[in-house]
Amino acid sequence: MATHTLTTPSRRRATGHARRQRVGWLFITPFLVIFAAFLIFPLIYAFGMSLFSSTLATGTKFVGAANYLKAFTDPLFLGGLGRVALYAVVMIPAQLLVALVAALVLDTLGTWLAKASRLLIFAPYAIPVVIGALMWSFLYSPRFGPAGTIFGLFGLDAPDFLASSAIFGSLVNIVTWQWSGYYMIVIYAALRSIDPSIYEAARVDGASGLQIATRIKVPMIASSMVMVITFALIGTLQFFTEPTVLRSIASGALPAEYTPNMYAYALAFSYSQFNYASTIAFSLAIVVFIGSFGFLFLTRKQNGLK
Amino acid sequence: MAVPTTARDDRTRTIVTAGAGRPDRSARREARRNARVAQGGRRIGSHVLLLVLALYFVIPIWWLFVAATKSTGGLFSSPAFWFDDPMQLFANIAGLFEHQGGIYWTWLGNSFVYSFVSGVGATIVAVLAGYGFAKYRFRGRGFVFGMILGSVMVPLTALVIPQFMLLSQYGLVNTGWAVILPSLLNPFAVYLMRVYTQDTVPDELIEAARIDGAGEWRTFTTIVVPLLRPAIVTVLLLSIVGTWNNFFLPLAMLTNPETLPVTVGLNRWLALSNAGAGGEQVWNLITSGAFISVLPLLLSFLLLQRYWQGGLTLGSVK
């Protein structure tokens, strides 16, 4: 970070300077109070909760790491983790591909049509995730949805988007629809910051448009791509809203423990098992930390964070 | 970190570029124009691809608009992507005023209040902290800032469940405060304000104000804050929208129907309607209610485009 400290010629000014720098603490104090009250303290509290167990028969007692041993052998938690990992592997590349292709195409065009498309592709970002999932639940519904009509045109039966076998793809589609536009804007902004004279030089050397896109543009925006993937990864591991909303229409395909977050929510608010819910939430936090730091470590050459 | 430069259109500069001098703009624009001319025929293919993508992203929104104008019977029987006769939008709006005593409008009002109060609060706190981090070199700065950045990775459940237990001890669960207070926490806003302050407020200006005898607080309010105005609008917008869109937090904190924001309320109607009891099936109210609830956001998004995009891309470009 490029903040310039002012040079201080004399000692007296130096001490005055140091005192003044301490004023910085006053500016960050309001935020730190909120940070402590609603992040640090709840985290410590949740960790404390996860070390105890509470039942009606025995009361509250300290159990150490027993809850964690239970969590990491709990098929419901592990199943949810496996599911979000699979979502991460499928959903993130899908979103990234749509976003990257759209951004690369937009970068070569300056027409009003391209500008209008950019706005339209970004539009779902302005729709709350709940409302987006709610809309798609109507579109997927065999009662309201257009699928019957569309497939009927070809003399086919519409697939059931809400069946157990199809729900994975249906959820991938909702998330891709909701977030690709945002990722596109981030990638597009990175592309616009490249000096176009580089493309001129490549073209003189005989590079095609596709070669310029894959060999020059994509490598030059690697750090933005890494940031986008990191955010997508953190979000996907916490998958909650879309499957929760769809559950009311597809409860057969979506059990209450479908994702780790849903499991923690159900444990806390349906079964009042706050100790074990805290353990699940904390275990998920550990997985998210390892996942995102691992990813940032693997991509340390590209992401520019040293 | 280098100055993030984001050249978008020529007319609407993002807040990212504001303040960063760009003497080579016209040369770059020229180069871009030449590149465009050289493209030729492939542009038709590119446009077709873009249109297909745009259709995919816009059709569900179009569907919501059309569905908001239908009765429940029309939702079942008429084509999904076209209007039904007669137009029922106003009947649906009247229905929103009648059903459960017009609770929908209470929900919408709650969403506004929660979003604005927490948005304004989070922004004030973030502007102060961003300035503190950007312009003062106090001991522990790097460590504290690193902790704030790292907190972006903490999953929401890990926070919401203990927050619920703590706030319930103070009797705040089931009140608006249970949503507003945790929403004041916005580490990303602090990061944005720090980056922006570093790029737009010159140290010399602050030093000059000090030499003229202005105190630290006066320097901040009269010299610095006016310079930060575009970033303040962006952060305010992002904070408001963040609370408006939040689902997990109000879902956990609020059970009393009178306190719900519109997202959680509509999800409740959806669940009840899907559960199937005849009188509780309010499909037409769900679609029209959802449509009305996205209007403020869609409009602000169209009208304040440059602030939105400025905030979304700020800090992402290295």
Between the two ends of chain A, the Cα-to-Cα distance in Å is 12
Dist. CA B288–CA B64, nearest whole Å: 8
Range(s) within chain A of domains with CATH label 1.10.3720.10? 68-303
Give the closest residue to B137 by CA, choosing from A115, A17, A84, A207: A17
- Phi first, then psi: give them for residue B163, nearest 5 degrees: -60, -40
Query: Residues with Cβ < 8 Å from A60, sequence gap 6 or more?
Result: A52, A53, A54
Residues of A in contact with B31 (CB under 8 A): 196-197, 200
Of B198, B239, B205, nearest in space to B16 by CA = B198
pTM over 0.80: yes
Residues of chain A contacting residue B252, judged by C-beta atoms under 8 Å apart: 265, 268-269
Cα distances (Å, whole numbers) of residue A59 to A53, A134, A278: 8, 41, 17
- Higher pLDDT: B304 or A28? It is A28
Structure tokens belonging to residue B125: 């706190």
Q: What does the CA dihedral B144, B145, B151, B153 come to, rounded to 10 degrees? A: -140
Q: Which two structure tokens, joined as six digits, stand for A117?
A: 């498309």
The contacts of residue B137 (CB under 8 Å, 6+ apart) are A3, A5, A21, A24
Measured distance CA(A93)–CA(A87) in Å, rounded: 10
- Please judge whether B132 and A28 are an interchain contact, meaning their C-beta atoms are less than 8 angstroms apart: yes
**Alpha helices for chain A (secondary structure H):** 11-35, 41-50, 66-71, 75-108, 112-122, 129-140, 147-153, 167-192, 197-204, 209-211, 218-220, 222-237, 241-247, 260-269, 274-298, 300-303
Residue A57 DSSP label: T
Rounded to 5°, the CA angle A78-A83-A84 comes to 100
Share of chain A above pLDDT 70, in %: 93
Sign of CA dihedral A115, A116, A117, A122: positive
Q: Nearest C-alpha of chain A: how many angstroms from B150?
A: 9
CA distance A141 to A166: 13
Residue A182's nearest CA partner among A146, A239, A235, A136 is A235
Q: In this structure, are residues B135 and B206 in contact, taking their beta carbons and an 8 Å threshold? A: yes
The percent helix, strand, coil of chain B (3-state, each to 5) is: 75, 0, 25
For the domain A68-303, what is the CATH superfamily, name and number? MetI-like (1.10.3720.10)
Q: Are A131 and B291 in contact (CB under 8 A)?
A: no
Most trustworthy range by pLDDT among A177-186, A289-298, B62-71, B121-130: B121-130
| pLDDT single digits (tens) A112-169 | 888 889 889 988 988 999 999 999 999 998 877 788 778 878 878 878 888 888 999 9
Residues of B whose CB is below 8 A from A23: 136, 138, 216
Three-state SS at A142: coil
In this complex, the residue of B31, B154, B247 whose CB is nearest that of residue A241 is: B247
CA–CA gap between residue A231 and residue B296 (Å, rounded) = 26
The CA–CA distances, whole Å, from B222 to A6, B64, B219 equal: 22, 46, 6
Q: Mention every residue, 6+ apart, whose C-beta is less than 8 A from residue B21.
A: none
Q: Residue A161 and residue A159: Cα distance in Å, rounded? A: 6
CA distance A133 to A249: 11
Closest CA to B178 of B186, B169, B190, B187: B169
Distance between alpha carbon B160 and the CA centroid of its chain, in Å?
20
Give the C-alpha distances (Å, rounded to integers) separating A87 from A84, A140, A292, A296: 5, 19, 15, 19
| Average pLDDT of the segment spanning A23-28 | 92
User: Which residues are paired to A62 by β-bridges?
Assistant: A52
**Nearest CB partner across the interface for B313, out of A30, A185, A280:** A185
3 state DSSP class of A62 = strand
Please answer whether residues B189 and B123 qualify as being in contact, where contact means their C-beta atoms are separated by less than 8 angstroms.
Answer: yes
CB contact under 8 A, A123 and B128: no
Q: Can you tell me which residue has the tokens 């949805």?
A: A145
Q: How many CB pairs under 8 A join A and B?
A: 324
Q: Which residue(s) pair with A61 in the sheet?
A: A53
From the number of C-beta atoms within 10 Å of its C-beta (0-12, 13-18, 19+), residue B272 rates as: middle
| Residue of chain A minimizing CA distance to B140 | A25
CB contact under 8 A, B161 and A185: no
Whether A4 has its CB under 8 Å from any CB of chain B: the answer is: yes
pLDDT tens-digit map of A226-284: 888 988 999 999 999 999 999 988 888 899 999 999 999 999 999 989 999 999 999 99
Structure ipTM over 0.95, yes or no? no
| Contacting A residues, span 259-288, partner chain B, CB-CB under 8 Å | 260-261, 264-265, 268-269, 274, 277-278, 280-282, 284-285, 288
Q: Reduced to 3 states, what is the DSSP secondary structure of residue A53?
A: strand
**How far is it, in rounded angstroms, from Cα B140 to Cα B148?**
12
Q: Do A6 and B207 touch (CB under 8 A)?
A: yes
Domains annotated for chain B, with CATH where assigned, are 35-98 (no CATH), 102-281 (1.10.3720.10)
Query: How many residues appear in chain A?
Result: 306
Which residues in chain B are contacts of A121 at CB distance < 8 A? 53-54, 57
Q: What is the pLDDT along chain B (318 residues), one digit of tens a residue?
A: 333 333 333 333 333 333 333 445 566 666 655 555 555 556 788 888 999 999 999 999 999 999 998 888 888 888 878 888 788 888 889 988 988 889 999 999 999 999 999 999 999 999 999 999 999 998 889 999 999 988 888 877 789 999 999 999 999 999 999 999 999 999 989 988 998 898 888 999 998 998 888 888 999 999 899 999 888 988 998 899 889 989 999 999 999 999 999 999 999 999 988 887 666 788 889 999 999 999 998 888 878 877 776 666 654 443
Q: What is the pLDDT of residue A83?
A: 96
Q: B168 vs chain A: nearest CA distance in angstroms?
A: 13
Interface test with A, best of B55, B156, B161, B255 (most A CBs within 10 A): B161
Cβ contacts of B57 on chain A, cutoff 8 Å: 120-124, 177, 180-181
With a CB-CB cutoff of 8 Å, which residues 38-57 of chain A face chain B?
A: 38-39, 41-43, 45-46, 49
**Is B162–A42 a contact, with Cβ atoms under 8 angstroms apart?**
yes
Q: Least CB-CB distance to A130: which of B31, B154, B263? A: B263
Check residue B179 and give its pLDDT: 96
Q: Do A27 and B132 touch (CB under 8 A)?
A: yes
Are A203 and B37 in contact by the 8 Å Cβ rule? The answer is no
- C-alpha–C-alpha distance, residues A14 and A8, integer Å: 6
